[in-house]
Amino acid sequence: MTTASGVAERLLSLRARITSAARRVGRDPGKITLIGVTKRVDATRVAEAVSLGLRDLGENYVQEARQKIHAVREILAPGKTPQALRWHGIGQLQRNKVREAVALFDVIHSVDRIALARELDQRAGQVGRRIEVFLQVNLSGETQKGGVPPSLLGELAAECAKLPHLVPLGLMALPAESRDPEAARPVFAALRELARGLCDAVGSDRFVALSMGMSHDFEVAIEEGATHIRVGTALFGPRES
């Protein structure tokens, strides 16, 4: 049955495409986390995706996450204990937003400097939490995208591995924009190799996850080893203005 929003149909299609891409390279589709990116998506559509089984949601901005998380909870179970969802902070994070980010998000995908890592660790400790993090690496050379240069990644990773309230999961990258999904493949492959190098340096149980791939290129990302893909438009349809 076709729904008015189209979320159910798109989610079904996404899951089939994830399975197909994983199997092409001999991977287990169950090891790939689909993060529904809710930037400028109304809470009703987000709640619909949750009701269909989506459990990981991503927001770019703290201020939008604050409103969205509350609104989704109220739609799903007003006045009751919220469902077990994992909210991911996937946008660039300024230090003055860290206190609130620690309260809102379970995972931060954009740690790109030691000062930010230390601030996250301090704030998480103050509220008795441990925050899972990805280190964002700038492999495209575009300064507006943020990310630590590959030459400084080892220093950042070593610091994060020592901080008691951070749980390093892996690396994240944003390729340069292109209509051709294949244009992102070298970046995805490079991120995978950087992660392998870190595993050798700091221990095989850290930095094994790869947050890479979005609506237009997630299948290529999966073929190159993505464990977390961040999908917005392909799941929720066009964003609100």
Q: Which pLDDT belongs to residue 1?
A: 42
What is the 3-state secondary structure of 204-223? CCCCCEEECCCCCCHHHHHH
- Residue pair 231/34 in contact (Cβ under 8 Å)? The answer is yes
Mean pLDDT in residue range 204-216: 90
User: What is the distance, to the nearest Å, from the Cα of residue 40 to the centroid of all Cα atoms in its chain?
Assistant: 16
The pTM is what?
Answer: 0.94
Dump pLDDT digits (tens) for 124-172: 999 999 999 999 999 988 888 899 999 999 999 999 999 999 999 999 9
Task: Tell me what pLDDT residue 142 has.
Answer: 84
According to the model, what pLDDT value does residue 85 have?
94
For residue 223, pLDDT beyond 90: yes
- pLDDT tier at 80 (50, 70, 90 boundaries)? low
Domains in the chain: boundaries: 7-232
pLDDT of 204 > 70? The answer is no
pLDDT in tens, 161-201: 999 999 999 999 999 999 999 999 999 999 999 999 988 77
E strand spans, 44-159: 56-59, 86-89, 107-111, 131-136
Separation CA 73–CA 125 (nearest Å): 26
Taking the domain 7-232, which CATH number applies?
Answer: 3.20.20.10
Residue 241's pLDDT is: 61
Percentage of the chain beyond pLDDT 90 is 85
Sorted by sequence, the CB contacts under 8 Å of residue 131 that are 6+ apart come out as 102, 105, 106, 107, 108, 120, 124, 165, 166, 167
